[in-house]
């Protein structure tokens, strides 16, 4: 049994332990018939004793590492095509895939609780499928353990996320345990940090996590403690503590402590935190070799921009029965979300579509007074006997007099405006004059003709 507990590989070690256990049961059962459970319990107790004694006396662990050694690390980003951000983090036989998805803020999670917090912008899901431990089983709704691990990873990352104003996106982060042998929750923190950076999320600082363990034993009336860095699953089971620590280079963002002891001296915990910091810095160095700054956002991710409007203008942007906002969305292909404080979030598949929607909204709610000489591609919204009214911006029309419409007809006399310009027609115009009441007089812009030619003999 002692020899089997020195095998570094998890699967090889477990296979040998199963063989030793079966051999022991075969030899003991004839003498202790019907006491299989007692034999199994005694076997586990002896295994635990051997693991703990080796750590206390030799400062050697199951896989041969020293008490402060970290398993081999590997980090990679852009592991999956098409997604907004992805990364794989590997520590020994623990491997985690992180996937980031970005969307409009209206897609954030709505919370219906007694808490005053009614929505959650950052949603972290942790999945631990049976195959991650080499087993088969049902894959369904998350269990309590998975929910808890996801909550811990979420708590670790929330302090470094940008504000809604800095990064107006809803963020869903998924951590998939591909292989497990100790602390997949802290591996999830590392994979998620890299995945978020790969998606272009401007984190305030990268976050890494490590799981610490503890072995204690009383020798000659005095309790001796040995703190372990980067514990295995077996060390978690046979040890006295599972202390998960996540944070940046400067500070800790999340902690979780499970202990089987009645109490742990403060000096032991302080030493564990210092040991965890050294490990965290080493892990961060490996992660930063893979990605150290936010990447450009994926072309598959939506582009979201914001615009601030006066609260009393919200109704104008929405329009009667939503007519105006629906028209803007239809014309530009953008999705628009309006907050009660006048902040408008505009999301689109590309930047130009979002900018077009912002320009239209600013024309309604933050209008700038047009100036003489400015040119616009306008739309005819109304015709009369004396000319056509052309919409330059939402809520801003100008008059193209019938005498100016002649220029569009090659200088010929125009009896009926509709013969040249119908409602809905597009026409390039220039502002010729703005009267004291703000009324706009327009002239057509014709190729080859100077735009400042604003006079016409027929005006006389």
Sheet harboring 85-91: ordered strands across?
73-77, 85-91, 94-103, 170-179, 122-127
Q: What percent of the chain has pLDDT over 90?
A: 41
In this structure, of 243-252, 311-320, 384-393, 446-455, the range with the lowest mean pLDDT score is 446-455
DSSP alpha helices (H): ranges in 59-205?
Answer: 144-157, 184-198
| pLDDT greater than 50 at residue 95 | yes
DSSP alpha helices (H): ranges in 319-383?
Answer: 323-332, 351-365
Q: How far apart are the first and last CA of the chain?
A: 112
The mean predicted confidence, pLDDT, of the chain is: 88
The DSSP call for residue 447 is T
Q: What integer pLDDT is reported at residue 289 of this predicted model?
A: 95
CA distance 145 to 135: 17
CA distance 348 to 21: 62
| pLDDT greater than 60 at residue 453 | no
Q: What integer pLDDT is reported at residue 368 of this predicted model?
A: 67
Q: Are 190 and 287 in contact (CB under 8 A)?
A: yes
The DSSP call for residue 326 is H
pLDDT of 168-190, one tens digit each?
999 999 999 999 988 899 999 99
| Mean pLDDT value across residues 40-48 | 89
What the chain holds in terms of domains, given with CATH numbers, is 4-58 (no CATH), 73-290 (3.30.230.70), 303-365 (3.30.1370.10), 375-459 (2.40.50.140)
Buried b (16+ CB within 10 A) or exposed e, 389-404: bbbbbbebbbbbbbbb
pTM: predicted TM-score of the whole model, two decimal places = 0.75
59: helix, strand or coil: coil
Q: What integer pLDDT is reported at residue 369 of this predicted model?
A: 64
| pLDDT greater than 70 at residue 450 | no
Phi then psi for residue 382, to 5 deg, are: -160, 145
CA distance 430 to 373: 6
Q: Tell me which residue has tokens 């056509």.
A: 388
Phi then psi for residue 77, to 5 deg, are: -115, 170
Q: Are 195 and 99 in contact (CB under 8 A)?
A: yes
Task: Please report which confidence band the pLDDT of residue 391 belongs to, taking 50, 70 and 90 as the band edges.
Answer: confident
Q: What integer pLDDT is reported at residue 360 of this predicted model?
A: 86
115 versus 396: the higher-pLDDT residue is 115
250: helix, strand or coil: coil
DSSP per residue, 195-231 = HHHHTT---SS--EEEEEEEEEEEETTEEEEEEEES-
In this structure, of 6-10, 248-252, 294-298, 428-432, the range with the lowest mean pLDDT score is 6-10
| Beta strands per DSSP E along 20-169 | 73-77, 85-91, 94-103, 109-110, 119-120, 122-127
Rounded alpha-carbon distances, angstroms, from residue 30 to 1, 21, 24, 39: 21, 15, 11, 12
């Amino acid at each position: 049994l002692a020899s089997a507990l020195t095998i570094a590989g998890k699967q090889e070690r477990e296979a040998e332990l199963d063989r030793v256990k079966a051999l022991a049961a075969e030899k003991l059962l004839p003498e202790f018939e019907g006491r299989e459970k007692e034999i199994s319990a005694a076997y586990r107790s002896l295994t635990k004793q051997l693991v703990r004694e080796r750590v206390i006396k030799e400062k050697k662990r199951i896989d041969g590492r020293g008490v402060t050694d970290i398993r081999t690390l590997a980090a990679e980003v852009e592991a999956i095509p098409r997604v907004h951000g992805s990364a794989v983090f590997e520590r020994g036989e623990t491997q985690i895939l992180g996937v980031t998805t970005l969307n409009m803020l209206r897609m954030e999670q709505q919370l219906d609780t007694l808490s005053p917090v009614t929505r959650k912008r950052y949603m972290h899901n942790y999945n631990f499928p049976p195959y991650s431990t080499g087993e088969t089983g049902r894959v369904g709704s998350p269990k309590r353990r998975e929910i808890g691990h996801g909550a811990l990873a979420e708590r670790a990352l929330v302090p470094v996320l940008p504000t809604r104003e800095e990064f107006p996106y809803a963020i869903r982060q998924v951590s998939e345990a591909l292989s497990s042998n100790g602390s997949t929750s802290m591996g999830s923190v590392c994979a998620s940090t890299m995945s978020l950076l790969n998606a272009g999320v401007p984190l305030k600082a990268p976050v890494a996590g490590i799981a610490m363990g503890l072995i204690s034993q009383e020798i000659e009336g005095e309790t001796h403690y040995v703190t372990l860095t980067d514990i295995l699953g077996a060390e978690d089971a046979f040890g006295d503590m599972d202390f998960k620590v996540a944070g940046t280079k400067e500070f800790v963002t999340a902690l979780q402590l499970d202990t089987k002891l009645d109490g742990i001296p403060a000096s032991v915990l302080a030493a564990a935190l210092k040991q965890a910091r050294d490990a965290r810095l080493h892990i961060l160095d490996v992660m930063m070799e893979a990605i150290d700054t936010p990447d450009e956002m994926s072309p598959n991710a939506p582009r979201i921009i914001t615009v601030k409007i006066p609260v009393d203008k919200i109704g104008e942007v929405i329009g009667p029965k939503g007519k105006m906002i629906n028209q803007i969305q239809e014309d530009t292909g953008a999705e628009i979300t309006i907050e009660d404080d006048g902040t408008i979030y505009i999301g689109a598949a590309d930047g130009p579509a979002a900018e077009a929607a912002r320009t239209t909204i600013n024309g309604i709610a933050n209008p700038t007074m047009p100036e003489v000489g400015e040119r616009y591609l306008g739309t005819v919204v109304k015709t009369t006997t004396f000319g056509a009214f052309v919409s330059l911006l939402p809520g801003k029309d100008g008059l193209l007099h019938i005498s100016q419409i002649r220029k569009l007809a090659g200088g010929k006399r125009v009896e009926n405006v509709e013969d040249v310009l119908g409602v809905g027609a597009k026409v390039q115009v220039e502002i010729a004059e703005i009267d004291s009441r703000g009324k706009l007089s327009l002239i057509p812009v014709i190729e080859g003709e100077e735009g400042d030619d604003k006079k016409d003999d027929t005006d006389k």
